């Protein structure tokens, strides 16, 4: 009996006695799928990361640093795949334990970076001036490192405190409970953040006054509340504020120049630093499309795995051990969803980012 057969026999005995599944299950279908994903996904992700890092105008923007974090998270999904190839030719217990130690981390890293990107997007929409002045690439990198390390520690906490032994197997009834809870929290947070960003975008776009309209704003002296009336005016190009009564105006404004007074009375439109009025309708459609695409992408990557872990979790209380054993064959296939996501996600980013696409054409 060679080393591979001996190791497989040991693992089969452990699985039969503990109700677990082997961490690395290799068959022809998975090997072919891995090879195709690696050939397409690794060069594509490395190419995008190289373009962002090498071009200063890209790496100087916080949103591109967040995109770089997502791309690196996609690349981390191929590390377990490469370890499976290595295990096929050089099987060892230590390599299998290392595989278990990093298993599931690509899910966590991608969801954490997605959540950070959504928080950044909401801040840029809701508080654009503060975001422009305070959010830097250094701050983004620090947040990414702290959030990724913290989430990884929490995710692997059962192994850190030795609640679960680090062996070459996956404990369906213990480890997958921790996986399900962590993924459900992050997945729900990402979906909720997508909805919040979408609603904030719609709210800002709804309050935007298009070209050819004017908004007259006045202050009631009775309750000090502000009201606004939007009327049609073909010659008006920007927002206009109705002057205050003479007894409510400060002395400095009464003595100032007329043009200076009018300039001070025009409020700053927050949307002016993001878009022009000609693109309002386009951005409404784009915001809807972006939310649908991103939520669907996250659901494809994480949804089946969460449903599987919840099913295994319910088996623990129902006492149907045979049902849990019959579901074990799905585990290696559900783990590969993150590898598939690492292939189509960068392609989606390329198709939706004109800045990144043009930069890649210049870089070639």
Same domain membership, residue 170 and residue 134: yes
Same domain membership, residue 133 and residue 228: no
Same domain membership, residue 337 and residue 243: no
Same domain membership, residue 322 and residue 264: no
Residue 59: its pLDDT value, please?
A: 87
If phi > 0 it is left, if psi is from -120 to 50 it is alpha, else beta; for residue 281 that is: alpha
Same domain membership, residue 175 and residue 69: yes
pLDDT by residue for the chain (364 residues), tens digit each? 444 444 444 344 344 334 456 777 777 888 888 899 999 999 999 999 999 998 888 888 999 999 999 999 999 999 989 988 888 888 888 888 888 888 888 888 999 999 999 999 999 988 989 999 999 999 999 999 999 999 888 888 877 777 777 777 766 555 566 677 788 888 999 999 999 999 998 888 777 655 444 444 444 444 444 444 444 444 434 434 444 443 344 444 444 444 444 444 444 444 444 455 566 677 777 888 888 888 888 888 888 877 877 777 777 677 666 666 666 677 667 777 888 889 999 988 888 888 888 887 887 7
Domain that holds residue 256: 213-268
Same domain membership, residue 243 and residue 169: no
Residue 190: its pLDDT value, please?
A: 93
Residue 278: its pLDDT value, please?
A: 61
- Find the CATH number of the domain harbouring 326: 1.20.1070.10
User: Does residue 87 contact residue 145 with C-beta atoms inside 8 Å?
Assistant: no
Rounded to whole angstroms, the maximal C-alpha distance in the chain is 99
User: Does residue 351 contact residue 53 with C-beta atoms inside 8 Å?
Assistant: no
Residue 259: its pLDDT value, please?
A: 43
In this structure, what DSSP letter does residue 268 have? Answer: P
Secondary structure (DSSP) of 144-160? HHHHHHHHHHHHTHHHH
Same domain membership, residue 241 and residue 357: no
User: Does residue 18 contact residue 324 with C-beta atoms inside 8 Å?
Assistant: no
Same domain membership, residue 202 and residue 218: no
As to burial, measured by CB atoms within 10 angstroms (0-12 exposed, 13-18 middle, 19+ buried), residue 127 is middle
**Alpha-carbon span 333 to 25, nearest angstrom:** 9
Residue 159: its pLDDT value, please?
A: 78
Q: What's the pTM?
A: 0.74
């Amino acid at each position: 009996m060679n080393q591979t057969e001996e190791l497989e026999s040991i693992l089969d005995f452990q699985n039969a006695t503990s109700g677990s599944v082997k961490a690395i299950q290799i068959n022809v279908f998975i090997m072919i799928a891995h090879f195709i994903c690696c050939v397409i996904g690794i060069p594509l992700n490395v190419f995008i990361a190289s373009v962002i890092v090498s071009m200063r105008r890209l790496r100087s923007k916080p949103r591109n640093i967040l995109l770089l974090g997502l791309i690196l998270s996609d690349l981390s999904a191929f590390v377990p795949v490469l370890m499976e190839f290595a295990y096929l030719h050089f099987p060892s217990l230590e390599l299998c334990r290392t595989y278990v130690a990093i298993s599931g981390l690509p899910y966590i890293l991608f969801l954490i970076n997605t959540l950070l990107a959504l928080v950044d997007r909401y801040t840029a929409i809701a508080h654009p001036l503060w975001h422009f002045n305070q959010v830097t690439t250094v701050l983004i990198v620090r947040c990414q490192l702290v959030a990724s390390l913290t989430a990884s520690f929490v995710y692997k906490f059962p192994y850190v405190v030795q609640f679960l032994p680090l062996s070459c197997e996956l404990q369906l009834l213990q480890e997958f409970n921790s996986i399900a809870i962590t993924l459900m929290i992050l997945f729900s947070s990402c979906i909720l953040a997508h909805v919040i960003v979408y609603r904030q975008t719609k709210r800002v776009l709804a309050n935007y006054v298009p070209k050819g309209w004017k908004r007259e704003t006045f202050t009631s002296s009775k309750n000090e509340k502000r009201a606004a009336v939007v009327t049609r005016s073909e010659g008006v190009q920007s927002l206009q504020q109705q002057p205050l009564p003479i007894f409510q105006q400060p002395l400095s404004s009464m003595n100032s120049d007329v043009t200076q007074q009018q300039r001070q009375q025009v409020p700053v439109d927050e949307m002016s630093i993001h878009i022009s009025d000609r693109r309002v309708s386009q951005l409404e459609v784009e915001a809807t499309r972006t939310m649908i695409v991103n939520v669907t992408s996250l659901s494809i990557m994480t949804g089946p795995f969460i449903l599987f872990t919840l099913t295994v979790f319910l088996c623990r209380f129902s006492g149907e051990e045979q049902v849990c054993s019959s579901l074990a064959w799905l585990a290696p296939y559900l783990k590969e969803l993150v590898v598939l996501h690492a292939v189509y996600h960068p392609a989606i980013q390329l198709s939706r980012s004109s800045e990144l696409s043009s930069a890649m054409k210049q870089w070639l």
